[in-house]
Amino acid sequence: MKRVLLSWSSGKDSAWALHVLRNQGEHQIVGLLTTFNQAADRVAMHAVRRELVERQAAATGLPLWNVPLPWPCSNEEYEMLMAETCARAVAAGIEAIAFGDLFLTDVRAYREKQMKDTGLQPIFPLWQQPTRELAKSMIASGLRAKLTCVDTQKLDASFVGREFDGDLLAALPEAVDPCGENGEFHSFVYAGPMLSGDIPVSVGESVVRDQFVFADLTAVMGGAIPLSQ
């Protein structure tokens, strides 16, 4: 089986990609690759605290490959850091990187361009799955997630912090993709079949930056999964 790194945003699509790849049994997932805003110590764009991602990784039983990004970070700096990470992966005997992308052809083309000549194959296990059915399958499986970021130019700010569930799907405007693939929202998975146990979280204050509103999630320590297993 090919040794594969999974691009891990902490959200539902990357979590579901892990679930799918494990069920297929054709690849050996050897780590979760996450980029962090070095200044904030949070996942880029999702704004999830590093501690929560570490708890996710522990619950998947996989090591976390941390890529710290300076802030601000130019595209050139980002590509240089990712090229270094790809070289490290190849040196570790890794053969591919999997992504949870759904249907954005420009994003896929960019990833394929960046992977070219690295020695790593890009894999897209969720590609072109109908997103409403996909969202329903995620929820039916027991996947649980909170919306951590909302683009207020595409979705009302009141959705931030909400549960990703059937009620949310029913409340989304028709123009909003049920999986938020156009950037309408991002999420954090705290339970599901890809995790060995739940990661209880509480939703704190909301923070507005430009057109985006972020919900600050923190671990509920009483029931949280320990960082080591």
Q: Domain segments of the chain: what residues? A: 2-223
pTM: predicted TM-score of the whole model, two decimal places = 0.94
pLDDT at 221 (0 to 100): 73
Q: C-alpha angle 181/184/185, rounded to 5°? A: 90
pLDDT of residue 130: 98
Q: Which CATH number fits domain 2-223: 3.30.560.10, 1.10.1740.10, 3.40.50.620, 3.40.47.10?
A: 3.40.50.620
| Total length of the chain | 229
What's residue 224's pLDDT?
39
- Partners of residue 142 on adjacent β-strands: none
CB burial of residue 81 (10 Å; 0-12, 13-18, 19+): middle
Contact 20, 123 (CB under 8 A): no
User: Which pLDDT belongs to residue 176?
Assistant: 98
Going from the first residue of the chain to its last (229 residues), give the mean pLDDT of each consecutive group of 10, the final group possibly shorter.
96 98 96 94 89 97 95 91 96 98 98 95 98 98 98 97 98 98 97 97 94 95 40
In what helix (H) or strand (E) does residue 113 lie, and over which residues does it extend?
helix 105-115
Residue-level pLDDT at 223 = 43
Amino acid 78: pLDDT: 92
| Dihedral, CA of residue 22, residue 186, residue 73 and residue 63, to nearest 10 | -30
* pLDDT recorded at residue 52: 97
CB 144 within 8 A of CB 189: yes
